[in-house]
Amino acid sequence: MESKEARIGMRVRVGESVRESELRGLIGTIRGRWGDPEYLALDVLLDEGRLELFWHHELDATDYLHPVMA
């Protein structure tokens, strides 16, 4: 994902470049944006309930809806 694409409330999937293999492929919602607008760090509330911090390039936009929202 490009830094300029990241918006609070956007649904995202954790990409394959993340070091922690247990996080890869998980889905969540962006809850916060930190740092330089050209190179953002993002708070993501994962559907499993954990809040994790990722670099923008570690995430992919998704159109997956949260089961409660579907």
For the stretch 13-57, pLDDT in tens is: 999 988 889 999 999 999 999 999 899 999 999 999 999 999 999
Residue 65 pLDDT more than 80? no
Report d(CA 17, CA 14) in Å as an integer: 8
| Structural domains of the chain sorted by starting position, each given as residue range(s) with its CATH number in brackets | 3-61 (2.30.30)
pTM of the model: 0.85
Per-residue model confidence (pLDDT) at position 63: 83
Cα dist from 16 to 24, 30, 35, 60, 66, whole Å:
6, 18, 23, 10, 21
Which pLDDT score, from 0 to 100, does residue 20 have? 86
